[in-house]
Chain A
Amino acid sequence: MESINFLYELLGKNALTITLVVILPLGFVLIYALVAILAELKTSAWIQERLGPMRTGPWGILQPVAEVIKLIQKEDITPAKADKLLYNAAPFIVFTGAYSAFAVIPFSEYFAPSRIDLGLFYIFAVGSISALGIVMGGWASNNKYSMMGAMRSVAQLISYEVPAAIAILSIVVLTSTMNLQEINKLQTGWFWNWFLFGGPGTLAKWWIVPFTIILCMIYFIAALAETNRLPFDIPEGESELVAGFHTEYSGIKFAMFFFAEYAYMFVVAAILTTVFLGGWNSPFGNLMQGPGWGVFWFIFKGFSVVMVQIWIRWTLPRFRVDQLMYLGWKILLPISFVCFLIISLYVMLK
């Protein structure tokens, strides 16, 4: 069994290194979330021709830190008629669901917390834990808006998991593995080896390239819906539901929901990066290829996808509930089935 974890290689496999491997992505998530919040504030400002935060630190870069400190200091309110136990547990379960997906994300050739063969299947499976956390929070708040938001959120998550899973499954047909590290290794070389462009192979693959690009777009749209981001943020739709499932939450527990949302945004960006955009591989063959560059490329690509999510959030208006369901079941699902069949045909002919 080859070790793919540089920490195990340096320090041996014991309780301490296992804890380190578990904690390392957490540190990444905390720093990344601060950067992503700043990016969100600044991007929204530029799109709306504002300056955004400018006072906290030079060019406003300390704004997310200030916001987190503010949220931690705030009074933690629990509604009198809420179910205390479930109300307090919900933010942790939502964050656990988002964070547990990091267990299989390969940050580099030499760092992936776990190397299980079922990486992609696992990510789809743990996605449902956050859905349950959202229902828990929405129900325990004892508030109609929260309940409505939670129901919408789960309905949306379940509906869009289907096209997302079919899109990923089509690529699994090409790779014939669900191990994220293996999928990365297949895409080594120039950028035309990425599964966005049909994966490795001779020029005979040209006729499936349009379909892999469509699959990538389907996955991206479904991922936006799964993270409850605009244009699919009907669970939080301010004009209809105040703030959706986290209406009653304040202070640190609200911050937990917030962090979970940003962590999940990175999870879907990481899957997109790994499956379609070559993961930690450099786009330019052997140039800038290697373990250290791997971390750079992975985070660079992942963050670019997060930036596109932010960009879309501030550009498009929100869908109605029926439009959302229509798009998921009647447009994305049939298209993804067609792409799945065509890619299966290609693999059979090859």
Chain B
Amino acid sequence: MDLITITFYFLATLTIVFSGIVVFSKNIMHSAFALLFTLFGVAGLYVLLSADFLAITQLMLYIGGILVLIIFGVVLTSRITGIDVRAGSLGKIQLFAAVIITVVIAASLIWMFKSTKWYMAEMKEVNSTVRQIGNELLTNYLLAFEAASMLLLLAIVGAALIARKKH
């Protein structure tokens, strides 16, 4: 096994173990912080796929933005941290439904994975992905790029409006 394979298995185990903790932990804060390692593991997998821009964007947006927001939400909500977040009396029915859905999705994913003929791309030394991404965004995908920026602008204006003092 070479270094890259070992790294892959390490990151994959990290991601899976901690996403298990996210789902199964009784303490919502532990879930939130386990998400840090899960997202970090996914970012590491992106690095192994030579998608360095995607990996760092993952760190920036998911860890620096969304996870901080989730943790703030949990911390600022009073008396949420001590509560067992697992389902209560309805739990049995929900558990039953969840197991069925999980099995169906897992089975179809495995079936798809087995039945697809995978195209193995050759390993290439990729230089400067960010330059290519920038050029593509401002030429071929300009409309999508501008639409996304409009959406974000609207979100910012909306957030500022909601946060304003009522007169």
Q: Which residues of A contact B (CB under 8 A)?
A: 1, 15, 18, 83, 85-86, 89, 93, 116-118, 121-122, 124-129, 131-132, 135-136, 139, 147, 151, 154, 158, 178
Q: How far is the CB of A102 from chain B (nearest CB, A)?
A: 16
Q: Which of A89, A117, A135 contacts B75 (CB 8 A)?
A: A135
Is B14 located at the chain interface by the 8 A CB criterion?
Answer: no
Is B60 located at the chain interface by the 8 A CB criterion?
Answer: yes
Q: Which of B56, B63, B75, B125 contacts A121 (CB 8 A)?
A: B56
B52 touches A132 (CB 8 A): no
Query: Is the contact region of chain B dominated by helix, strand, or loop, or is it mixed?
Result: helix
Q: Which residues of B contact A (CB under 8 A)?
A: 3, 27, 29-30, 33, 36, 52-53, 56-57, 59-60, 63-65, 67-68, 71-72, 75, 125, 127-131
B130 touches A129 (CB 8 A): no
Q: How far is the CB of B102 from chain A (nearest CB, A)?
A: 28
A117 touches B52 (CB 8 A): yes
Q: Which of A125, A147, A151 contacts B56 (CB 8 A)?
A: A125
Bound-state Cα–Cα, A124 to B61, Å: 11
Bound-state Cα–Cα, A86 to B131, Å: 40
Contacts of B68 in A (CB 8 A): 128, 131-132, 135, 154, 158
Contacts of B60 in A (CB 8 A): 121, 124-125, 128
Also in contact, A86 and B30, with CB within 8 A (given A15-B3, A118-B52, A154-B68): yes
Closest residue of A by beta carbon distance from B27: A83
Q: How far is the CB of A5 from chain B (nearest CB, A)?
A: 16
B75 touches A136 (CB 8 A): no
Bound-state Cα–Cα, A136 to B130, Å: 33
A135 touches B59 (CB 8 A): no
Bound-state Cα–Cα, A1 to B126, Å: 10
Query: Is the contact region of chain A dominated by helix, strand, or loop, or is it mixed?
Result: helix
Also in contact, A86 and B56, with CB within 8 A (given A127-B64, A132-B63): no
B130 touches A178 (CB 8 A): yes
Closest residue of B by beta carbon distance from A1: B125
Also in contact, A136 and B33, with CB within 8 A (given A117-B130, A118-B56): yes
**18 extra A-B contacts, CB within 8 A, seeds A85-B30, A117-B127, A135-B68:** A1-B125, A86-B29, A93-B36, A117-B131, A118-B53, A118-B130, A121-B53, A121-B130, A128-B59, A128-B63, A131-B64, A131-B68, A132-B68, A135-B72, A135-B75, A139-B75, A151-B72, A151-B75
Bound-state Cα–Cα, A147 to B127, Å: 44
Interface pairs (29), CB distance under 8 Å: A86-B30, A86-B33, A89-B33, A116-B52, A117-B129, A117-B131, A118-B56, A121-B53, A122-B56, A124-B60, A125-B57, A125-B60, A127-B64, A128-B63, A128-B65, A129-B59, A131-B64, A132-B36, A132-B68, A132-B71, A135-B71, A135-B75, A136-B33, A139-B29, A139-B75, A151-B72, A151-B75, A158-B68, A178-B130
Closest residue of A by beta carbon distance from B47: A116
Bound-state Cα–Cα, A284 to B57, Å: 38
Contacts of B53 in A (CB 8 A): 118, 121
Give 7 closest A-B pairs by Cβ, nearest first. Answer: A128-B64, A125-B59, A125-B60, A117-B128, A125-B56, A122-B56, A121-B56
Contacts of A117 in B (CB 8 A): 52, 127-131
Bound-state Cα–Cα, A126 to B125, Å: 25
Q: How far is the CB of B133 from chain A (nearest CB, A)?
A: 10
Bound-state Cα–Cα, A151 to B75, Å: 9
Contacts of A151 in B (CB 8 A): 72, 75
Contacts of A126 in B (CB 8 A): 59
Bound-state Cα–Cα, A129 to B56, Å: 12
Q: Which of B57, B64, B71, B131 has the most CB of A within 10 A?
A: B64
Q: How far is the CB of B32 from chain A (nearest CB, A)?
A: 9
Bound-state Cα–Cα, A15 to B52, Å: 21
Contacts of B29 in A (CB 8 A): 83, 86, 139
Contacts of B33 in A (CB 8 A): 86, 89, 132, 136
